[in-house]
Structure 1
């Protein structure tokens, strides 16, 4: 089975993280989110990946290549201009001849793809939409359904008295190939505002999959930090990362001074160096090759691969991007630190 990742967004709300990096390449525990999601799909038997790219596509292609290092086949469809969710799906039509999966590439979730596919087939649906519950649906496009799990209406940002549903689109779909014929080619098209209402009007059977217990759109720096804290605390299981009883993952190649203090939950990657009397955690991630100097303190923060926290520095509730150096004795709170600048986090 083929899976299409919509990976062309600009990631505007995630700036400055995405100033020079496509949103799907933002690291989760040291690996790009897109790589984490591809690894998850492999466990469900998906071995052919389509990547729809637009913003800085060369970064994605240079990292993944043909997919052989991950044991999958990867093909690329690059947009000259953004085509929207449905437009990007239509743009991949020449690669698709059977039931296929579609994913927004910036989502972290626990959706069971095998179960979702089974329900799609059992119901004879032409499209199945994964949904998630929200407390206040008035800020979203809401999906209403009948007792058999089929969509009856799509309502855009309804007022509280206008719907009884609190289900919204979770950015994961299963489509039959004939759906592609209903999407106009060559222009921007929204799957939520145009395609789904049209399919419903034409009588297509659209099902929902509502068994998702964890879902997060990594749309802002605050949500990015939340994703890591949720993984560290066990609210979301990330395949391939196994914590001990103290909620600590420490690579065997990490070098941690005997006088340093590490308090879980923490993730410490390969070849990390933690100096004497440093204080790490809780809710902290140190990416591969990062360095924390003597007497430095890192709490509630995500430090990317190959970054450095200088002697006596404090980094709290912040992000330190790759190859960035935090000056010695400096204090960084609620900040995104890049090579060029630091900006407050918007939660």
Structure 2
């Protein structure tokens, strides 16, 4: 089975982090989210990937190449203009002659893909939609289904009084090729608002898969920060982490001064240096090639690669992008800091 990743979004809600990088390339524990998801798929035996790109596609193509470095075979298709989720899927029709998996590329989840595929086959449905439960579904597309797990209706952002289900579309699907034939060509199409309701109206069976206990759309800085806290706490686990340790991961050639204070859980990348009397954590990620100066404090924060935090600086619940420098004694709280904006942005 092949997998399709919809990786063309501009990541508007995640700006300024996505001003210079496409959203699927935003790092999760130092590695791009897209890489983490594709590596997970490889563990389930899915090695043929199609990437549908639009915004800054060259960054994605240059990083992944043909996929050989990851033991994958990757093919690309670019959108000249945004085609929506349905249009992007239709645009990849030539790659698929059997059932395939579709992923929105900004999703972090623990869904068992093998179980999802097995469930889809057992339901003889044209499509299976993975769903997740949320406390307040009024901001999402709500899915109603029967006792046999077949969808009976879709409600887009219902009024609280209209809510009869708290299950929403998780952005992960298994499609039969019939779905591709039902998507209009030559224009932007929403698979959620147009294609799925149309399939239902035409009598096709669409199943819902309720497996998985963790799901997060990292579409905003606050959710991006929360996703890291969930990983650090073990609510959503990553394979390289040691959840019995105060420092769940330390990359090769990193140096922690004996007088530094580490308050776990903390993740530290490769070639990082933590200075004397610096305090790191809790719930903190330090990227590759970072230098954290003497007496500084970094807590509840995500620091990307090649960042320097000078002595006495303080970062609390803050995201710092690649190649930034936090100068001596500067303080940031609940801030997104990049060198591409004139002023740090509050979350």
TM-score normalised by the shorter chain: which range applies? over 0.9
Offset at 1:311? 1.4
**1:53-84 CA-partner distances (Å, limit 9, x unpaired):** 00000000010000000000000010000000
Alignment partner, residue 69 of structure 1: 69
Offset at 1:289? 0.9
Offset at 1:11? 0.4
TM-score of the pair, normalised by structure 2 = 0.97
Q: Is the 8 A contact 1:222 1:345 kept in 2?
A: no
Alignment partner, residue 44 of structure 2: 44
- Secondary structure at 1:37 match in 2: helix
Alignment partner, residue 125 of structure 1: 125
Q: Which moved more, 1:293-302 or 1:242-251?
A: 242-251
Offset at 1:40? 0.6
- Secondary structure at 1:42 match in 2: helix
1:104-115 matches, cutoff 5 A: 104-115=104-115
Alignment partner, residue 236 of structure 2: 236
Alignment partner, residue 262 of structure 1: 262
- Secondary structure at 1:5 match in 2: strand
**1:274-331 CA-partner distances (Å, limit 9, x unpaired):** 1111110001000111110111111110110111111111111101111111111111
TM-score of the pair, normalised by structure 1 = 0.97
C-alpha distance in 1 between matches for 2:190 and 2:340? 36
Alignment partner, residue 344 of structure 1: 345
Q: Does residue 1:23 correspond to 2:34, yes or no?
A: no
Q: Is the 8 A contact 1:250 1:268 kept in 2?
A: yes
Q: Is the 8 A contact 2:300 2:317 kept in 1?
A: yes
Q: Is the 8 A contact 2:90 2:185 kept in 1?
A: yes
C-alpha distance in 1 between matches for 2:242 and 2:39? 15
C-alpha distance in 2 between matches for 1:119 and 1:300? 38
Q: Does residue 1:9 correspond to 2:13, yes or no?
A: no
C-alpha distance in 1 between matches for 2:247 and 2:254? 17
C-alpha distance in 2 between matches for 1:221 and 1:179? 34
**1:160-199 CA-partner distances (Å, limit 9, x unpaired):** 3324111110000000011100001121000111000000
**1:253-276 CA-partner distances (Å, limit 9, x unpaired):** 210111111110100111110111
Q: Does residue 1:162 correspond to 2:162, yes or no?
A: yes
Q: Does residue 1:82 correspond to 2:89, yes or no?
A: no
C-alpha distance in 2 between matches for 1:217 and 1:266? 22
Alignment partner, residue 321 of structure 2: 321
- Secondary structure at 1:149 match in 2: coil
Q: Is the 8 A contact 2:8 2:82 kept in 1?
A: yes
Q: Is the 8 A contact 1:230 1:236 kept in 2?
A: yes
Q: Is the 8 A contact 2:246 2:265 kept in 1?
A: yes
Offset at 1:252? 4.3
Give the 3 Å change call, closer, same or farther, for CA 240–186 of structure 1 in structure 2. Answer: farther
C-alpha distance in 2 between matches for 1:85 and 1:79? 11
Q: Is the 8 A contact 2:138 2:163 kept in 1?
A: no
C-alpha distance in 2 between matches for 1:129 and 1:180? 15
Q: Is the 8 A contact 1:296 1:311 kept in 2?
A: yes
Offset at 1:126? 1.0
